[in-house]
Structure 1
Amino acid sequence: MRVSVIIPCFNAADTIAVQLEALANQKWSQPWETIISDNGSTDNSMSIVEQYKTRIPNLRIIDSSDRQGPGHARNMGAKAAKGDALLFIDADDEVAPGWLAAMGEALSKYDFVAGRHELKKLNEAQILRWYELESSTGAIVENQYLPFAGAGNLGVRRSLHNAIGGFDGELLLVEDVDYCWRIQQRGTKLHYVPEAIAHIRLRTNLIGAYKRAWKMGTCEALLYKKHRPLGMPQMMTWKTFLKTAVILTFQVLLLQIRDQESLAKWLMSFGWRAGQLRGCIKHRYLPV
């Protein structure tokens, strides 16, 4: 079975060498290729990639700059791929030794798999506290509806990817959640591969964390609008907006925001809920 590793890339010059170095050290007995899907980078990301063409088997760069977004970049990478199976990772993370073999072997048995997200190697303890991920296991996320995993460590049979039409390019975040749900709605189970480890890098500045929370909230409204008619329970209500507004207001009035950590948590909570409200208005989704 031939495997295609697909990496969406947008201005990742500061991090992509770490991921490519990790790929250069992967070992597997089966044929594989790596596709860098350039989503319109304006830095020197691609010149860094060029330096690895002699070290990573069948490394190619394809252009996906016609539309912004990681989902679209992955879809274009999948379209150009020659493999029977697709492995999705990100340009700012780092796969651990043995990752390729573990995911490749898993895809020889299952149609849809997810590896483990490890958070401590690339993130300081303070950053993990911002996101309240100190005790995260990095496993598949369970919720009220269907489980999901992040696209930074996801594998799928090419035929299944094509059958659902790939990632939803309209979703700039939580596109991986939507992807996992749509595949499972077809009756295909998401299998966990704990030995396939990817070290995940989180946003490390307040503005970046806030913007990501805002964007996530906005996209969640569209995600819920898509899946509510398909059986998803109500996971966002007007009561949650009211409750969050009261809590955030009291935190300010009671001077509970006293350091960078509490400020980061406050900003992300505010950004997330404000983004959800903005998304409900934008996408005409009534959270009742």
Structure 2
Amino acid sequence: MDTASVSVIIPYSRADLIETVLEKLSQQTYPADLTEIIIVGQPGKTVEEQWSTHTVNAASNMYPGQKRNQGARIARGDYLLFLDNDCEPAPDWIAQNVLELQNPQIGAVGGQIKGKSNAFFARCLDFSSFAFCQNSQRSEMQLCSASLGVRRQIYKEVGGFNETLRVCEDIDFCYRLVQLGYRTVYQPAIKVKHNHRRDSFKVLMAYSYFLDAHPAYTSSFYIPP
């Protein structure tokens, strides 16, 4: 196993979920002294003090790509691991990311993102919006930034995330990596539980119409050459 340093970058938006995510990160099998955690947003001083994290202040209305780039600018790790604050990583989440990223041909790696709730409408969302990152077969494909790892030098080479995109900045990121000759790999051994809490018909429809309002969501999927 590589013993390189890792920066976990979390765009913050949900106060009631962040501490659960940080608790899971504190239980990682990867060496804690090689790991830094960067929260981008305004989680409050208590979170930073209790969990030994770095905080980058960011306005709540900033796009996810903007927040991820802000965190990456101060990151010191050899690997940048992006994690949404509603995703609970498995104990070997960091280790599995690092293991896959040791291959120099891989530009980015994504993981299996399974819904935490078994409620009917929550499962509807899991399959309608995240089915491509719930199977059990390793493959080359577009990745979801809810769990996405990249080597820092490659992140810089590709220029980070497109800050003008409100959605699909992860698909755009993967597309540009492929254009540079890198592979983007879905690795189901990298696992998170997605606590999205979209478990009612009303919330599911609001989320679906939000995505439909952005044509890039349906037009940007691609198959790497």
TM-score band, normalised by shorter chain:
0.7 to 0.9
Name the structure 2 match of 1:138: 134
Name the structure 2 match of 1:126: 120
Structure 2 residue matching 1:52: 3-state secondary structure: helix
- Relative to structure 1, the CA distance from residue 183 to residue 36 in structure 2 (aligned partners, 3 Å threshold; closer, same or farther) is same
Return 203-212 or 153-162, whichever deviates more: 203-212
Name the structure 2 match of 1:14: 16
Kindly tell me the number of residue pairs found equivalent between the two proteins: 213
- Relative to structure 1, the CA distance from residue 83 to residue 223 in structure 2 (aligned partners, 3 Å threshold; closer, same or farther) is farther
For structure 2, the residue ranges without an aligned partner over 5 or more in a row are none
The CA deviation at 1:222 is: 8.1
Name the structure 2 match of 1:284: none
TM-score (norm 1): 0.65
Find the partner of 1:147 among 141, 166, 171: 141
CA contact (8 A) 2:136 2:188 kept: no
Higher RCO (CA < 8 A, seq sep 6+):
2
Name the structure 2 match of 1:158: 152
Structure with more of its chain in helix, by fraction = 1
CA contact (8 A) 1:140 1:147 kept: no
Find the partner of 2:187 among 185, 193, 218: 193
- Relative to structure 1, the CA distance from residue 47 to residue 13 in structure 2 (aligned partners, 3 Å threshold; closer, same or farther) is farther
d(CA) in 2 for partners of 1:140, 1:63? 37
Name the structure 1 match of 2:37: 34
d(CA) in 2 for partners of 1:152, 1:80? 20
Name the structure 2 match of 1:50: 48
TM-score (norm 2): 0.81
The CA deviation at 1:170 is: 1.8
Q: Give 1:24's aligned amino acid.
A: S
d(CA) in 2 for partners of 1:130, 1:159? 38
Structure with more of its chain in strand, by fraction = 2
d(CA) in 2 for partners of 1:213, 1:177? 18
Name the structure 1 match of 2:7: 4
Query: In the alignment, does 2:96 pair up with 1:98?
Result: no
d(CA) in 2 for partners of 1:67, 1:132? 25
- Relative to structure 1, the CA distance from residue 61 to residue 129 in structure 2 (aligned partners, 3 Å threshold; closer, same or farther) is closer
Q: Give 1:7's aligned amino acid.
A: I
Structure 1 residue matching 2:160: 3-state secondary structure: coil
Q: Which string of whole-angstrom CA distances, capped at 9 and with x for unpartnered residues, describes residues 7-30 of structure 1? A: 0012x1121111111001112147
Find the partner of 1:218 among 207, 213, 217: 213
Find the partner of 1:112 among 104, 108, 111: 108
CA contact (8 A) 1:85 1:155 kept: yes
For structure 1, the residue ranges without an aligned partner over 5 or more in a row are 234-288
